[in-house]
Structure 1
Amino acid sequence: MKDEDLPAYSAELGIPGLFDVHVHFMHPRVMAKVWAYFDGDGALPAGLWPVHYRGTDDERVEHLRSMGVRRFTSLSYAHKPGMAGFLNDWTRSFADRTPDTLWSATFFPEPEAATYVAELVDAGVRVFKTHLQVGDFDADDPLLEPVWGTLAESGTPIVIHAGSGPAPGRFTGPDGVARVLARHPELRLVIAHMGMPEIAEFMDLTDGYPHVMLDTTMAFVDFWDEPPDPAVVKRLPGLQDRVLFGTDFPNIPYDYAHQVEALQRLDLGEAWMRDVLWNNAVHLFGPPEEGVS
């Protein structure tokens, strides 16, 4: 499957297009640093992770549209104190000029977080992103307690990178997330990358918390050079309404369409694909607004 095949595939399934809940648009200086990390200016060896989609913001938006991606996030994430405001100002501006994106924001465990998260929620932000590995903080950090309370009360979804892939951090894994959910069971957490490599453990959280979902970002793709875990695949039909399509665009080392192909190869049926690629995200965030292509 190639990128240009995706609109026809969506039509074949009978859905309007794709709804991608894990897309990154960041301030250009920040995105350049992310790409430098993947290029080898960091822990990754040079050439291991060639970012497949570069170019300008406008070029990348147009590529998403050409593939029939009708709605997408613009996730950014803070990795140190005092950074979230700068990132959030940029993503708000991006959302203002890009009607098919969901207004996205981030937060970091800092004293100001309780205030700016509440203000963003009141202003209508649609989704938050936080990254325990890059930020090197615990989901259970006391400075985040009022943030989780606000987000549980508002029902605002949070895409959270808590799994230990591609490399474990001091606070990755399901334990900190489980402690937060025990206090705030209404949180609408979207577990990025299905929690890889602890997919089964994060799936367990969906058993006790009805608002916990998993996104497919980089799950089951050939890049990992290993077949899907049969025990994980066996549980996916029972999670048909709890899995959201995500890709990590543009920071992926393969064609965008390969993520769809990897899900299709699981052979879980067209109804499962319709829900994952479109229906579940529409249920969570609502349909595209009238006039949005």
Structure 2
Amino acid sequence: MDAAGVRSFWERLGLPGLVDVHTHFMPEQVLKKVWAYFDAVGPLTGMEWPITYRHEEEQRVALLREFGVLSFTSMLYPHKAGMAGWLNGWAADFAARTPECLHTATLFPEEGVERYVRKAVESGARVFKSHLQVGAYDPNDSRLDPVWGLLAEAGIPVVMHCGSGPAPGKYTGPEPVGRLLARHPRLRLVVAHMGMPEYTDFLDLAERYGGVMLDTTMAFTDFSERFTPFPAAERGRLLELTDRILLGTDFPNIPYPYVHQLEALERLGLGDDWLRAVCHGNGTRLFARSAG
């Protein structure tokens, strides 16, 4: 039923399918730890966070194919030094055996980061993931400076969890990201979760820097609207920034069916052209550029 609803959504819009910039695939032992975190996240949010798609990897890939997701990512991230290079190796292998998956890589401020990021770029990485909350690092750490320059020069987007939801971190929020962009204004930075809960501040950064985009992951859904509602006064800015908004879902780590993210976007009332751009056109163009 879920797949039928998803397909009905994009077929009605005349699209060939969806481009989802924020989906999670990672080594099984790492994913199980992520799921354990969400199982315990109730005290942080005041709401339970059941994993709707707690399936084996092969079944999760099959579901995205059934939904009609033409391109997706394997967002993965280290929580400490020494993990990123290993995760990048796994992600490269996953992308090689999963044609729809955009080759994803990650990073951490540590000795050797420039070396393994360059290796990932040279081996065809199309998108990077940076998680300031889980990694608990400052994006302005001097060890990352050559990396941001490299990625900006290569035109490879970085999906960054930099907003302070569901719980703030030492380096989350718009201020560290603003300092980063002041030094690397050409960086293609995708603000995950629309920057929730600091929606307005991250929209401001998108207006200031042409390479800043925002993904819709969990934003506007019933779940998120209960504790971090998107400000109604900012809805018009979503239309003004149509070409900077990208579909993201957080599949499989979502507490509701996949189709609900699409329904949440549709009920914003911003029109079919906006939905077509967000759910397919913008992502297609972005990753065509990152492919060189």
3-state SS of 2:101 partner:
coil
For residues 16-95 of structure 1, what are the structure 2 equivalents within 5 Å? 16-40=16-40, 44=44, 48-95=48-95
Q: Distance in 1 between matches of 2:45 and 2:13?
A: 39
Match of 1:221 in 2: 221
* One-letter amino acid of the structure 2 residue matched with residue 258 of structure 1: H
- How many residues are matched? 288
| Structure 2: runs of 5 or more not aligned | none
What's the offset of the Cα at 1:2? 3.9
Q: Does residue 276 of structure 1 match 2:283?
A: no
- Aligned partners of 1:38 and 1:44 also within 8 Å: no
What's the offset of the Cα at 1:3? 3.6
Match of 2:247 in 1: 245
Alpha carbons of structure 1 residues 46 and 87: separation in structure 2 relative to 1, 3 Å: farther
- Aligned partners of 2:88 and 2:120 also within 8 Å: no
Match of 1:13 in 2: 13
* One-letter amino acid of the structure 2 residue matched with residue 103 of structure 1: H
Match of 1:179 in 2: 179
Q: Distance in 2 between matches of 1:262 and 1:3?
A: 16
Match of 2:140 in 1: 140
Q: Does residue 111 of structure 1 match 2:111?
A: yes
* One-letter amino acid of the structure 1 residue matched with residue 150 of structure 2: T
For residues 121-136 of structure 1, what are the structure 2 equivalents within 5 Å? 121-136=121-136
What's the offset of the Cα at 1:286? 2.3
Match of 1:150 in 2: 150
Q: Distance in 2 between matches of 1:256 and 1:118?
A: 34
* One-letter amino acid of the structure 2 residue matched with residue 266 of structure 1: L
Match of 1:194 in 2: 194
- Aligned partners of 2:42 and 2:49 also within 8 Å: no
3-state SS of 2:243 partner:
coil
For residues 204-215 of structure 1, what are the structure 2 equivalents within 5 Å? 204-215=204-215
Show CA shifts across 1:122-151 (max 9, x none): 221110001000000111111110111101
TM-score by length of 1: 0.94
* One-letter amino acid of the structure 1 residue matched with residue 288 of structure 2: G
* One-letter amino acid of the structure 2 residue matched with residue 256 of structure 1: Y
- Aligned partners of 1:39 and 1:46 also within 8 Å: no
* One-letter amino acid of the structure 2 residue matched with residue 265 of structure 1: R
Q: Distance in 2 between matches of 1:26 and 1:128?
A: 14
Show CA shifts across 1:24-74 (max 9, x none): 000000000011111128965897100110111110001011111111001
Query: 1:260 is matched with which residue: 259, 262, 265?
Result: 262
Alpha carbons of structure 1 residues 63 and 46: separation in structure 2 relative to 1, 3 Å: farther
- Aligned partners of 2:44 and 2:167 also within 8 Å: no
Match of 2:232 in 1: 230
- Aligned partners of 1:162 and 1:173 also within 8 Å: yes
| Structure 1: runs of 5 or more not aligned | none
What's the offset of the Cα at 1:160? 0.2
What's the offset of the Cα at 1:183? 1.0
- Aligned partners of 1:3 and 1:255 also within 8 Å: no
Q: Distance in 2 between matches of 1:167 and 1:180?
A: 21
